[in-house]
Amino acid sequence: MQTLASDQIEEIRRQANLIRRRSLRMVHRARMGHPGGDFSSADILSVLYFGVLRVDPARAAAPDRDRFIMSKGHCSGALYAVLAAAGFFPLEQLESYMAPLSPLNGHPDRNKVPGVEACTGALGHGLPIAAGAALGARIQGAGWRTFVLTGDGELQEGSNWEAAMSAAHYGLDNLTLVIDRNRFQQGDATEAAMRLEPLADKWRAFGWSVAEVDGHDHGALFQQFQALPLEAGKPNCIIAHTVKGKGVGFMEDRVEWHHKVPSSEQLEAALRELGEASP
């Protein structure tokens, strides 16, 4: 099994930090966004785009590309930051986040942003689409893979469980669901709002192969992605245990940072804590 060289790990760590720095600046400028979830998913996105996904910004619509669907579309700040860093569009465009007529809408539009596979933001849409894409690859005998990142609160939407059934029924081991298990949703802890646990058991009971991993450990995430499929004939579920607002002490595990906008002082404090030079 391939392991990451230390310089690759370092690059993934650096890119994750850039996702946090850039997305927080975007939210601050736009006066709107979802920084808590941007930060909990930043490491997952960095590992995917700088270590796992077979995508090429120069051929963003190539038929044989891996598909990545950001089901938790409210974390568009993190998604746009990683897509720009990966070369899908110029970094300067991030400054237009949610500005009038910007392609960078608050929730991603696949027809406006290269590299965006689905219009998400209404929760519970990504997994059914990902299951369809994976099934389509299978029907066509194609080797590309499909990845989908959902939030955890999002799993309260019943559409996910419809897709959970059909992905297992069709044995889609070319499909990988990553759950950003940051334990918070908009209004409360997930377990207080609507209990998700025992989450791994639920996915196993639906016929998926499940792995659990520290969602901020780049090496461990990479290892899990290298180990795909976890089990032949079963769709893969990777529960990434994360911290909402990860990386900035005053944001971590605080439900209000789901969609709180930092003040200029908070932004500067956060950037200082995240460290490294601008951006």
Partner 1 sequence: MSVVTDCRQPFGAALERLAEDNPRIVAVTNDSVGSSNLTSFRKRFPQRFVNVGIAEQNLIGTGVGLANSGLLPFVCGAACFLTGRALEQIKIDLGYGRANVKLCGMSSGVAYGPLGPTHHSAEDLAWTRVIPNLVLIAPADGPETAQAVEAAARIEGPVFLRISRMPVPDVHSLDYQFEPGRAALLREGSDVTIIAVGTMVSRALDASDLLAAEGIAARVLNMATIKPLDRDAIVRAAEETGAIVTVEEHSAIGGLGGAVAEATAATHPVPVHILGIPGVFAPTGSPAWLLEHFGLTAEGIRAAAAGLVARRRNA
Identify the residue among 67, 216, 234, 246 touching partner 1 (CB under 8 A).
67
Per CB under 8 A, the segment of 95-103, 138-146, 206-214, 219-227 that binds partner 1 is 138-146
By beta-carbon proximity to partner 1, the closer residue of 85 and 134 is 134
Identify the residue among 2, 6, 111, 264 touching partner 1 (CB under 8 A).
111
CB 33 within 8 A of CB 87: no
Per CB under 8 A, the segment of 89-97, 108-116, 213-221, 253-261 that binds partner 1 is 108-116
21 binds partner 1 (CB under 8 A): no
Helices (H), 140-229: 158-169, 190-193, 199-205, 218-226
CB 77 within 8 A of CB 245: no
Q: Which of 53, 60, 64, 75 is nearest to 114 (CA)?
A: 60
Per CB under 8 A, the segment of 86-94, 123-131, 222-230, 252-260 that binds partner 1 is 123-131
The pair of structure tokens assigned to 251 is 């944001």
Q: Which of 266, 226, 222 is nearest to 248 (CA)?
A: 266
Smallest separation, CB 124 to partner 1 (Å): 7
* Euclidean distance between CA atoms 74 and 58, whole angstroms: 26
149 binds partner 1 (CB under 8 A): no
C-alpha separations of 95 from 84, 90, 109, 212 in Å: 11, 10, 17, 35
Smallest separation, CB 30 to partner 1 (Å): 20
Smallest separation, CB 20 to partner 1 (Å): 28
131 binds partner 1 (CB under 8 A): yes
The pair of structure tokens assigned to 79 is 């998604």
Q: By CB under 8 A, how many residues form the interface with partner 1?
A: 35
C-alpha separations of 56 from 7, 76, 150 in Å: 21, 20, 23
Identify the residue among 6, 158, 272, 278 touching partner 1 (CB under 8 A).
158
162 binds partner 1 (CB under 8 A): yes
156 binds partner 1 (CB under 8 A): no
Per CB under 8 A, the segment of 41-49, 120-128, 218-226, 270-278 that binds partner 1 is 120-128
Residues in a beta bridge with 180: 151, 240
Kindly give the interhelix angle for 6-30 and 76-86, rounded to the nearest 10 degrees: 130
Applying CB under 8 A, the residues found at the interface with partner 1 are: 63, 67, 109-111, 117-119, 121-122, 124-125, 127-137, 139-140, 142, 146, 158-159, 162-163, 165-166, 169-170
